[in-house]
Structure 1
């Protein structure tokens, strides 16, 4: 698990570093709106990132209230260094979000 509180924080990034368009998304794994955005972005943004036209950067927003706290706790388990594994993990967490955000206090 990566220490997300160091000054060298890296974000989950897909696409070329020098792409002409950069899209930054601020998400929380416990947020239902972030889950919907993530679901749509894989069909809308990710193909452009995969083709090198867009650099897609996903940044996690830590929050300490309600189910957003659960997303903050889950975030360190996402591999931010490997975009394929990281996106797959986020996809599964968002897909099963309604079960795990209620499963712990």
Structure 2
């Protein structure tokens, strides 16, 4: 569920201070894309790569979901941009379907 990433960032960056924000983001994006799934055109913000971006206010970041309410969106997420198109804005999905199924 989409609450996992905010939980991870809050726990390991804010609360435990084990990781920097940059290192935590790398572990959630580029590292699995390249080293686990061997996807070469995702996971980094670079020219000729797909633009999947989350814009957040890290000070406000807080996952509200739990086992009884898994659908609750996190606080602090302002935008989600998938392949260059806004798919989430102001706590609402925009209904824009710009993602694509990745096949091996």
Q: Normalised by the size of structure 1, how large is the TM-score? A: 0.28
| Larger RCO: 1 or 2 (CA < 8 Å, sep 6+) | 1
| Structure with greater proportional helix content | 1
Normalized against structure 2, the TM-score is what?
Answer: 0.28
